[in-house]
A and B are shown apart, each in its own frame.
Chain A
């Protein structure tokens, strides 16, 4: 198990696997503080994303924290908190 921090690139990859990407959304762009809703991801997509992260990184994400994480920055922070790794600026 790697203890490297969970990064924005990691999240981009998992999002694509879990839910694809909306046409017209540039996932590669500066999305750290863009609401998931504006990125085209609704709760179902985020649930699938959350459970993929949990499986792949062997962590349990707090349900409320996950539900409250409305931006990539917030979600990355929640994952890193669960991983016990220090969050890095992406």
Chain B
């Protein structure tokens, strides 16, 4: 028998809300977190909008010893982990160190930290590069720092598959729990809103050039013009159902199914692989399409990619066969943070029986989706599908079920 794996704690840093309650309050009400970039002057760049996490003051949450050696994404990840552990009512000091593991995703590491050091290297010379550059920017830094801060010696991991990576990390966390580690910290926080990260993100040609925060990121809309990048994400505390039951923990829901595929090389004429990832996730959860009450879409905001996703969803669920939503229209795309944040949103939606809305979007009928737009929709929710895709062809899907 396979072990059931549940989520017992959430820690959220999102552009429309810092902390779980603030995020959910904003998200259920359609509060937008997208605006003009403030972390640097974007006026010389074609794209100027981002989803920035507001009001995060690392000094308020972390010891000063950690600040010189951490990028913004690591600071947010450490704080989100603290919150998630509190939420799960877990004091890591009380658990055997090898019973706790950490698996995070990253898309581009601590890119802002990296830019600052590259800047010093090329403008001042190699002796100006920080001793912390040897790890502060690299992709493994959040898993390492989380394990150190919390004394977690169990199996760890770091997954990089662009925006799909957050779901892959959660799935790997589930794998580690099934292999015998009772508690795993998983999910992801990403951030690369610095000039260097901005220019690199622009290079893929998918960022919108719109300057209107409410007209910029419009997935499944005839006026879709690309996406708005954001920062943040969610950290999840995952446990075996047995461990959660034994300690009487509050359970948000279960990570029931996962599927992952890779697209064929462009021009090969083969079908995009997203549908297969969704089917694999459903099969893994032992559910049929009819069991899914809501889909949290990847929602690329790029017409060609929106079409691929809509076709995959209608192939599996039928035309307008399931409510679909994209709360990331309020936050922008958070790279590897997006999938875990959508899982968190699904779990919070279960609690309230309410699908958070896709904002600013007028659904293009051609996509044949039942898109939940403008206002939240009340519905009994037992199971959700979360979809995430990474640049180059990564497709991942996770099925989440309500507790009980």
A interface with B by C-beta (< 8 Å): 16-23, 40, 44-45, 47-48, 51, 54-55
Contacts and interface: CB of A to CB of B under 8 A. Distances in A.
A49 to B, nearest CB: 9
| Among A18, A19, A54: residue with most chain B CB under 10 A | A19
22 contacts: A16-B64, A17-B68, A19-B65, A19-B69, A20-B63, A20-B65, A20-B66, A20-B68, A21-B64, A21-B65, A22-B63, A22-B65, A23-B63, A40-B65, A44-B131, A44-B132, A48-B68, A48-B130, A48-B132, A51-B127, A51-B131, A54-B127
B127 A48 contact: no
User: Ordered nearest first, which 5 A-B pairs have the shortest CB separation?
Assistant: A20-B64, A48-B131, A20-B65, A47-B131, A23-B63
Contacts of B130: 48
A17 B67 CA distance: 9
A23 B65 CA distance: 8
Nearest to B62: A20
A19 B342 CA distance: 36
- Say what secondary structure dominates the interface of chain A: helix
Interface of B: 63-69, 127-128, 130-132
Contacts of A51: 127, 131
Given A20-B66, A44-B131, A48-B130, 5 more contacts: A18-B68, A19-B69, A20-B65, A21-B64, A48-B68
A16 B132 CA distance: 15
Contact of A20 (B67, B128, B131): B67
Contacts, number: 32
A26 to B, nearest CB: 13
Nearest to A22: B65
A2 B67 CA distance: 30
Contacts of B132: 44, 48
A43 to B, nearest CB: 9
Contacts of B68: 17-20, 48
Contacts of A40: 65
Contacts of A16: 64
Contacts of A54: 127
B372 to A, nearest CB: 45
Nearest to A45: B65
Contacts of A44: 69, 131-132
A18 B63 CA distance: 13
A45 B127 CA distance: 16
A29 B30 CA distance: 52
Contact of A55 (B63, B64, B127, B131): B127
A32 B132 CA distance: 26
A40 B63 CA distance: 12
B201 to A, nearest CB: 30
A82 to B, nearest CB: 15
Nearest to A18: B68
A44 B136 CA distance: 13
A55 B65 contact: no
A54 B64 CA distance: 23
Contacts of B131: 44, 47-48, 51
Contacts of A45: 65
Contacts of B64: 16, 20-21
A3 to B, nearest CB: 22
A81 B127 CA distance: 21
Contacts of A17: 68
A12 to B, nearest CB: 13
Nearest to A44: B131
